[in-house]
Structure 1
Amino acid sequence: MTTHSSLHAAPPHSAAGQRTDADIVVVGAGIVGVACALELSRLGRKVLVIDREAPGMGASFGNAGHMATEQVFPVADASMLWRIPRMLVDSTGPLRLDWRYLPKAAPWLMRLMWNMRAGPTRQATAGLSALNEASLTAWQELLGDIGQTGLLKAEGSLLVHERADSSDALAGIAKRMQAQGVPVERFPREQVLERAPELTEAIQGALFFPDTGHVTDPYRLVSVLVRAAEQHGARFVQAEVEGGRVSDDGVRLETSTGVITASQVLVACGAHSAPLVEALSEVRVPLDTERGYHLMLPNESNRLPMAVTSLERSFIMTPMDQGLRLAGTVEFAGLKRPANMGRAWQLERLAQGMFRRPLNSEGATPWMGFRPSLPDSLPVIDRVGPGKRLWLAFGHHHLGLTQAAITARLIGSFLHEEDTPSVATTTPTSLPSLEPYRLARFA
């Protein structure tokens, strides 16, 4: 880890000759921030990454590991309305709203419901589809460039159902996804069990999504990106950003270890982004958090060949190097309330009924993390402020892992509007338009 003293030892110069600590400071060392840091350092910029935690120790540590390119529909769905009473009383249900957090969450929930209208839903779906369509290829290119393709298993995923009366619902999901260009196949029970023979014969059928995949170790994924970025000169500092300002002359950040100056700053600190964005841009972003839980079963690494989601039980199981990860619940309770690990252990009870043989839960470990959620389900990816020095990449809710590589490509494209050094890189993935992800939609 770079120390504060070495951070100031030999500051570079900006294009205007002003002494700075970096060309670009990335605030946030999760999967999005680290992927962006790698992209920017590969393009020849002097990059400094700062986070209150070590790289990858936030939500990126505990995500489900699923490259969820099939998830193109926003969270805002009219079906949520009739579920609100149960959300308030069921502490271990798949979707929970802590009643004590309801007064604070109410404005965000109102904006969420406003986005359930047909127009905003179409816009959000188009924005999610544009990112997701490019996401898997962007990851394959990125990992190929650094020789780490083995971390990504692009072998598809399954959405299974157990009740016969769920067949129509599954067909409806397939029809909606096909209308958005999502590749999907209908599998009968026999085909499901051929792919995943450990699953129970109670499975009636499934949807198979061929253009999805999973990572074998989310934390290791962040770690290898950090090492690759360091090889290109990026530096990593563990400290907290306490404030700052952006001007025509550059960026000044006050941190727990001192002042940092740079030509640009990229805010990519997930669920913790809103206060810093408001301080630097005077835009109050309606960012809340989905608290996600997982349970890791260390003795079950060979149960499944791919990620499997249960339609009725509303959770996902992903095979990883360290075991089987059970994940997928959502809780709205803010950043400060203690974790309710009963929600994580509930995942084990849900999973036991999915297999022919009982799962081995010995040594299982629960976890909770914060997913950054905006009411329209779209991230903010933009450059704003004086001289467009404030760059933004946050609010990916439960698609941070999926969209990190393509987000990094979009952030890297900002440099092509400047004097980008001649650096040998692969041909970039075709990039989506930034219009759906602009900060101005909240201004």
Structure 2
Amino acid sequence: MTESTIDTDFLVIGGGIVGVTAAFELQAAGRQVLLIDREAPGAGASRGNAGHFATEQIFPIADASILWQVPKLLLDPLGPLAIDWRYAHRITPWLLRFLWNMRSSQVRRTTEGLAALSGGSLGAWRELLGRTGGMSLIRSQESLTVFEKKGTARKLERGMKQMQAHGVPVSLIDGAEARERVPALGERVRGALHFTATGHVTDPLAVLEHIWTHCLQNGIDYRQAEGRAVRFTDDGVHVETDQGVINARQVLIACGAHSRPLVHQATGLKPPLDTERGYHLMLPAEGERLPMAIASAERRFIMTPMSGGLRLAGTVEFGGLERPANWRRAWVLREHANALLASSLADSEAEPWMGFRPTLPDCLPVIDRLGPGGRLLLAFGHHHLGLTQSAFTARIVTALANEAEPPIPVDPYRLSRFGKPKAL
């Protein structure tokens, strides 16, 4: 290790919602922060998410109850779960880990980890936006997960009891009450889970830009650069980028789906990070159709009212970072939405979108502090809960960076669950 001139106290690599909220909290804690990203903050997946604070989603996707459905799901290229056959050889090792994480002991561990992280998320968001004057960016503090089949009701009731045991406020309502709360719902809706501690944002990109504006106003620096390598010096961290070298006292890697190469280079460990290609369809003329976010238990998608219209989002596609988008997966969401509503949606100006959700096979993110003096911090792999968990993750990262007690134990989120990092 060698000594070097320090350019910044704290370097954040990644301009998505996780990186930006972490930068905000680190700065609020008195740290001098520089954020870098190869694109402008908010240019990636954070701008296109469903906009729902999914505090109710405490169960892992890796659940043995879906095993019997997998062949059918994978054979349907427009279904809620799909694999691009040209990517199958790349995703197979990840899928084997995914299956291994369906054992009951790991499901319990993941559920507890998600419940702890999501349980503090809405409060963290209210507190953060309260400090910045951004509370108008949050809407209704409730949501519904609707169902159409009798068999689904029984399954949801079992899940509801588990959620309640983890402190999630939820009740089961019938179709009539669901339509009373949301008159736009059609007769196919038999009932719903009613969540009273959720909510949504008016525009995910506007939320990120609001926070980022406060960061810039309070002195955070920004450079458009891509991190290439991390090396430790006697007094900090030496980060090579495509725009030159940056020396910092500490560094946070929060690059979402692009985190794996840099984490591997820095730690010697290859986290099993892949990407869920997430799609949405934005309907500009339908912003007033729904008063709250509505998810579908069977169709596995969500409808969120926003300032720019109604956003239909969901489905999981494994196809890597390079292959072009399959836009039919965005347009099929319109059909699912129309099936749940009393009248068809206006879609003449609909806009499809696709982005990359960073996904680990146990459905938990990595949040960690390692390296000499705890100079390297990690926050990535939040899959489809990045918006929900980012503000609370930022609190955890800030506590770890300052050697303070984090608001929840971080053991479930350690990188070492995937192997032993090299001696740093």
Q: Shorter-chain TM-score: which interval?
A: over 0.9
CA-to-aligned-CA distance 1:216-265 (integer Å, 9 cap, x gap): 10000000110111122111222222223123431112212111111111
Partner of 2:422: none
Query: 1:432 and 2:408 equivalent?
Result: yes
Mean CA deviation greater in 377-386 or 98-107:
98-107
Q: Which amino acid aligns with 1:437?
A: Y
Partner of 1:152: 138
Paired residues for 1:336-351 under 5 Å:
336-351=322-337
Among 94, 98, 102, the alignment partner of 1:116 is: 102
Aligned mates of 1:92, 1:241 — CA distance in 2: 35
Q: Secondary structure at the match of 1:203?
A: coil
Query: 1:371 and 2:347 equivalent?
Result: no
Mean CA deviation greater in 409-418 or 215-224:
409-418
Q: Secondary structure at the match of 1:402?
A: helix
Q: Secondary structure at the match of 1:215?
A: coil
Does the C-alpha gap of structure 1 residues 109 and 17 become closer, same or farther in structure 2, counting only changes over 3 Å? closer
> Would the aligned equivalents of 1:127 and 1:378 in 2 still touch at CA under 8 Å?
yes
Mean CA deviation greater in 187-196 or 288-297:
187-196
Query: 1:168 and 2:154 equivalent?
Result: yes
Partner of 1:62: 48
Query: 1:92 and 2:74 equivalent?
Result: no
Does the C-alpha gap of structure 1 residues 102 and 84 become closer, same or farther in structure 2, counting only changes over 3 Å? farther
> Would the aligned equivalents of 2:274 and 2:358 in 1 still touch at CA under 8 Å?
yes
Aligned mates of 1:306, 1:113 — CA distance in 2: 34
Q: Which amino acid aligns with 2:108?
A: R
> Would the aligned equivalents of 2:257 and 2:381 in 1 still touch at CA under 8 Å?
yes
Aligned mates of 1:163, 1:435 — CA distance in 2: 39
Partner of 2:287: 301
Query: 1:104 and 2:80 equivalent?
Result: no
Q: Which amino acid aligns with 2:409?
A: S
> Would the aligned equivalents of 2:140 and 2:291 in 1 still touch at CA under 8 Å?
no
Among 147, 166, 186, the alignment partner of 2:172 is: 186
- Residue 307 of structure 1, CA deviation: 0.4
> Would the aligned equivalents of 2:377 and 2:401 in 1 still touch at CA under 8 Å?
no
Aligned mates of 1:248, 1:92 — CA distance in 2: 53
Partner of 1:381: 367
Aligned mates of 1:397, 1:165 — CA distance in 2: 28
- Residue 34 of structure 1, CA deviation: 0.1
- Residue 195 of structure 1, CA deviation: 1.3
Q: Which runs of 5+ in 2 are unaligned?
A: 420-424
CA-to-aligned-CA distance 1:356-403 (integer Å, 9 cap, x gap): 221100110101111111111111111101221110000111110000
Partner of 1:319: 305
Q: Which amino acid aligns with 1:44?
A: G
Aligned mates of 1:212, 1:397 — CA distance in 2: 18
Aligned mates of 2:238, 2:78 — CA distance in 1: 44
Q: Which runs of 5+ in 1 are unaligned?
A: 1-15, 419-427
Q: How many residues align?
A: 418
Taking every aligned residue pair, what percent have the same amino acid on both sides?
55
Among 61, 67, 85, the alignment partner of 1:81 is: 67
Among 260, 264, 267, the alignment partner of 1:281 is: 267
Does the C-alpha gap of structure 1 residues 152 and 267 become closer, same or farther in structure 2, counting only changes over 3 Å? same
- Residue 165 of structure 1, CA deviation: 4.0
Partner of 1:424: none
Q: Secondary structure at the match of 2:120?
A: helix
> Would the aligned equivalents of 1:42 and 1:229 in 2 still touch at CA under 8 Å?
no
Among 242, 252, 255, the alignment partner of 1:269 is: 255
Aligned mates of 1:165, 1:44 — CA distance in 2: 53
CA-to-aligned-CA distance 1:288-321 (integer Å, 9 cap, x gap): 1111000000000001011001122221000000
> Would the aligned equivalents of 1:247 and 1:386 in 2 still touch at CA under 8 Å?
no
> Would the aligned equivalents of 2:3 and 2:235 in 1 still touch at CA under 8 Å?
no
Partner of 2:197: 211
TM-score (norm 1): 0.91
Q: Secondary structure at the match of 2:214?
A: helix
Aligned mates of 1:164, 1:387 — CA distance in 2: 56
> Would the aligned equivalents of 1:297 and 1:324 in 2 still touch at CA under 8 Å?
yes
Partner of 1:356: 342
CA-to-aligned-CA distance 1:266-302 (integer Å, 9 cap, x gap): 0000010011011111111111111100000000000
- Residue 79 of structure 1, CA deviation: 3.2
Aligned mates of 2:39, 2:65 — CA distance in 1: 37
Partner of 2:321: 335
Query: 1:202 and 2:188 equivalent?
Result: yes
> Would the aligned equivalents of 1:248 and 1:387 in 2 still touch at CA under 8 Å?
no
Aligned mates of 1:101, 1:79 — CA distance in 2: 25
Q: Secondary structure at the match of 1:229?
A: helix
CA-to-aligned-CA distance 1:141-194 (integer Å, 9 cap, x gap): 000010100111242110111234432222222223223222111112222112
Partner of 2:31: 45
Aligned mates of 2:64, 2:176 — CA distance in 1: 34
CA-to-aligned-CA distance 1:53-85 (integer Å, 9 cap, x gap): 111111101100010000001121113433332
Q: Which amino acid aligns with 1:439?
A: L
Aligned mates of 1:301, 1:142 — CA distance in 2: 26
Aligned mates of 2:74, 2:146 — CA distance in 1: 27
- Residue 199 of structure 1, CA deviation: 1.1
Q: Which amino acid aligns with 2:109?
A: Q
Among 362, 374, 377, the alignment partner of 1:391 is: 377
Does the C-alpha gap of structure 1 residues 166 and 124 become closer, same or farther in structure 2, counting only changes over 3 Å? closer
Mean CA deviation greater in 432-441 or 140-149:
432-441
TM-score (norm 2): 0.95
RMSD: 1.7
> Would the aligned equivalents of 2:4 and 2:247 in 1 still touch at CA under 8 Å?
no
Q: Which amino acid aligns with 1:340?
A: N
